[in-house]
Structure 1
Amino acid sequence: MRALRPRGRSTFLSVVAMVVALGGCALASDPPAPEVGGQESAAPTSAPAAATPAADPALHDLLPERIKSAGVIRVASNIPYPPWEMYTTVGGQQPTGIDYDLSQALAAKLGVKASFDQTAFDSMIPALLAGKADIVMAGIFDTPKRRESLSFVDYAKDGYSLLVVKGNPQGMKDVADLSGKTVAVQSSTSEEAALSKLSKRFESEGKPGVTVLAFPGDSEAFLAIKSGKAMARVQATSAAAYAAKTFEDGNAFELVESPSITAEFGGGMEGIGVPKADTELRTALQKALQSLMDDGTYLQILSRYGVENIALTKAEIDQGTD
């Protein structure tokens, strides 16, 4: 979330059922978090929500006519993927998270509304290209492969880490420690492909490969670690750190960070995906994002979820690498 960001999740209710079966491991909700899944689940920050920015008529004028007429930007996303997008309560329908908050702030700055529409991960880009959505905001990485059909307004820079059970019983420290291990990922993500490539490299060096467990949902991959089916999860640092802080009040998982992990799995720029031909919308979003960066709204949103370290100071186009 992904050199892309992992996603393609099941519905939150199905995740809740699995959580209960495995002993009540819960996700935090909107900071500051209420009780979730029967547990007190503290969010990493209690920072208040950012104030709604005032509309800028000059930025509104940059929007394509179809969006001016509709008065809404349709955002395709895939929930849950904390802290990027999630629901405020278990079984609820109100989104929250970095992407939700930022989409609302961008729309307000542009003088329109933003719908935030739950979409299967594998269907987000096809929906965008088919005209069923205007943009994608789902914590996804801006990569050359994706830029074959999309352009990106980059809004964060993230790396990769391993998520392991609290106490790190396997003693993992870097990529080399994945040899011979079972690793959980989300299916149809770059992490899955990268692990397969890494496994083949290990085997070519005479070492045990990696056993990859791919799940349709992000939370299922977390629960595979919790239940002992997998020893680690490869994930973007922002999401893995949030999970480590919020699952079971921070007592379920811990983060393993190493330059070799980011080097192996990519990391890089995360961006708002826009159809390549939609240059008017891309320019409007870029300038609106820069305005939010300049007035402090952008950093306030990231601070609310404890991920100021992924912040950028300049809104740029298509700066992601493979």
Structure 2
Amino acid sequence: MRRHRHILTAMAATVLSLTACSLVGGPPASIGDNPATGGASGTPGPTTSVNADPALHDQLPERIKSAGVIRVASNIPYPPWEMYTTVGGKQPTGIDYDLSQALAAKLGVRASFDQTPFDSMIPAILAGKADIVMAGLFDTPKRRESLNFVDYAEDGYSMLVAKGNPEGLKDVTDLSGKTVAVQSSTSEEAAIDKLSDRLEAGGRPGVTVVRFPGDSEAFLAIRSGKAVARVQATSAAAYAAKTFDNGNAFELVQAPSITEQFGGGMEGIGVPKSDPELLKAIQKALQALMDDGTYQQILTKYGVQSIALTKAEINQGKVL
């Protein structure tokens, strides 16, 4: 382990002492007047305002048609992609939750939405414990070794810092000699390590990386002064800056150098390579939701319509 890459553990006591800062969603997730009743435990709930397409239902793998459920692995919370409606609650909301319910309804089945540790989501898919991953996951060449992706958003990267930007951070080079919080096994974790190597190769101090198992702990590290910044997808960073403590906790730092260093790209719905039938069914169902406006309605609900796509394509993510 290189000296600039310190690994610190988020202690439970720290998290508990700062639970008042936790991010939660707004109204329960729904499309139309009847909210879905599914919870994080895996109990699926109906969505009634998206009409099922029998032709798409017929394209599903037989095991899903028989079960009547698509099992979705996700990692909560990662606002605005997935979160709970209340602190300590079990009802999910967010882009991925709403979209999973709409996709399932279009396919004539239901969707469970199952809380899964971030670094266990892909193994869960490969082990047959879930059918798809929906977690604001970037479609990368490395992940395409195990999964195919139906891309459903295009996002960049920004820095999330404490309100007032006390360190005066303007671009990625300002992270030299600073401590940055990341969630383990994410795209930004690998990118921040590469940035640190680049800084050191140029004769500047590297970055001290504080790694956490969850998204909430990374936010709390900034609030508690353990880190000066978090680099993450702009959609998530902007939502945190707007909603965390009513907009009084964080602010967003955006610069071309951030996305250039961290890459950005396509976020996708992950489907195992062994399941081409499901991949095609998901792609066609997503395109149907794009065409009828449901997809845009969901993104607009969470204020991230700028990341919307018009075509549901497969494996279009670029190198991060």
Q: Same fold (TM over 0.5)?
A: yes
Give the unaligned 5+ runs of structure 2: 1-9, 33-48
> After TM superposition, what 4+ stretches of structure 1 lie above 2 angstroms from structure 2?
17-20, 48-52
Q: Which runs of 5+ in 1 are unaligned?
A: 1-9, 33-47
Q: How does 1:67-82 map to 2 (within 5 A)?
A: 67-82=64-79
Residue 27 (structure 1) aligned with residue 23 (structure 2): yes
1:199–1:210 CA contact under 8 A, matched in 2: yes
Q: Displacement of 1:27 after TM fit?
A: 1.3
1:1-322 matched pairs, under 5 angstroms:
18=14, 21-22=17-18, 24-31=20-27, 49-51=30-32, 52-322=49-319
Query: Once the two structures are superposed, what CA deviation does each residue of 1:237-278 show, in whole Å capped at 9, x if it has no partner?
Result: 111111101111001000001111011011100000001121
CA contact (8 A) 2:150 2:279 kept: yes
For the 8 Å contact 1:85–1:98, the answer to whether it is kept is yes
> Which residue in 1 is equivalent to 2:6?
none
* Displacement of 1:18: 4.5
Q: Check conservation: 2:210, 2:227, Cα contact below 8 A.
A: yes
Q: Matched residue of 1:317: which SS?
A: coil
Q: Which residue of 2 aligns with 1:37?
A: none
Asked whether the equivalents of residues 23 and 83 of structure 2 are also in contact (C-alpha less than 8 Å), the reply is no
Q: RMSD over aligned Cα, in angstroms?
A: 1.7
Distance 2:88 2:125 in 1: 27
Sequence identity (%)? 79
Distance 2:229 2:290 in 1: 35
Contact 1:180/1:208, CA 8 A, preserved across alignment: yes
Contact 1:19 1:26 in 2 (8 A): no
For 1:39-66, what per-residue CA distance to the aligned partner results, in whole angstroms no more than 9, with x for missing partners?
A: xxxxxxxxx9423211011111111111
Deviations along 1:137-193, whole A, 9 cap, x unmatched?
Answer: 111000111111110000001111000011111111111111111111112222222
Distance 1:125 1:216 in 2: 15
Work out the CA distance in 2 between the residues paired with 1:248 and 1:289: 34
Q: Tell me, yes or no, if the aligned pair for 2:81 and 2:135 is still in contact at 8 Å.
A: yes
- CA distance in 1: counterparts of 2:26 and 2:177, whole angstroms: 38
Structure 2 CA distance for partners of 1:23 and 1:321, relative to 1, 3 Å: closer
Residue 80 of structure 2 aligns to which amino acid in structure 1? P
* Cα distance between partner residues in 2 of 1:89 and 1:25: 12
Q: Is the 8 A contact 2:83 2:92 kept in 1?
A: yes
Q: How many pairs align?
A: 294
Deviations 1:5-44 (A, max 9, x none): xxxxx9xxx98x7566248323132348xxxxxxxxxxxx
- Matched residue, 1:45: none
Q: State the AA in 2 paired with 1:189.
A: T
Counterpart-to-counterpart distance in 1, 2:17 and 2:50: 43
- Identify the structure with bigger relative contact order (alpha carbons < 8 Å, sequence gap 6+): 1
CA contact (8 A) 1:31 1:305 kept: no
| Alignment match, 1:44 | none
Counterpart amino acid of residue 267 in structure 2: E
User: Contact 2:24–2:84 at 8 Å: present in 1 too?
Assistant: no
TM-score (norm 2): 0.88
Q: Secondary structure at the match of 2:20?
A: coil
